[in-house]
Homo-oligomer: A and B are copies of this chain.
Amino acid sequence: MKILLIGGTGTIGTAVAEKLEEEHEVIIASRTSGDYQVDISSVENIEQMYKDIENIDAVISTQGASHFGNLRNLTPELNDVAINSKLKAQVNLVLIGQHYVNDGGSFTLTSGIMMDDPIRKGSTAAMANGAIASFTKSAAIELERNIRINNVSPSVLEESWDK
């Protein structure tokens, strides 16, 4: 399979890339490094990426930043980080990508455990994760050409344990 991995240089992304490269062609897209540079906060950048990288079987997104801090100090501006980076960017990868990926292709988005099992300081991440999960569930019944969509909700990573 030809797999486009967005955020393939992050903590999860690196591990995912390592595993997938054993059996698949993996194109790592990232803001500043990887095989292809893309700013997925830009709708135009996403569209251009899908035009440049043809014949994609699977899109995996392991990216998305969130502010982490007390609700008391969470401002609309800080909350926008998760909305723009984690929520909109991932949803836009699907909205635009549905017109480009191969028949029977797939999208895999990343949410996170905080939406179901909240922790202090995590409300903005929980918000974005809940949005991704609900969007995924709903988009799954509408995607055409046998395209599939899933979201993965990781808990604490083996790679992040020491932090």
Give A contacts to B, CB under 8 Å: 43, 70-72, 74-77, 79-80, 83, 87-88, 91-92, 95-96, 98, 114-116, 118-124, 126-135, 137-144
Q: A120 and B91: CB pair below 8 A?
A: no
Query: Chain A at the B interface: mostly helix, strand, loop or mixed?
Result: helix
How many identical subunits does the complex contain?
2
Determine if A123 and B96 form an interchain contact, defined as CB atoms under 8 angstroms apart: no
Docked Cα-Cα span, A116 to B133, in Å, equals: 10
> Does the CB pair A134–B142 fall under 8 Å?
no
C-alpha spacing A77/B95, complex, angstroms: 10
* Shortest Cβ gap from A123 to chain B (Å): 4
The chain B residue with its CB closest to the CB of A73 is B95
B137–A118 CB distance below 8 A: yes
Of the residues B43, B80, B133, contact of A130 by C-beta under 8 Å: B133
- Report the Cα distance A24→B98, complex, angstroms: 49
* Chain B residue with Cβ nearest A89: B76
CB distance from A69 to the nearest CB of B (A): 10
| A74 → chain B closest CB, angstroms | 6
Closest to A88 in B: B83
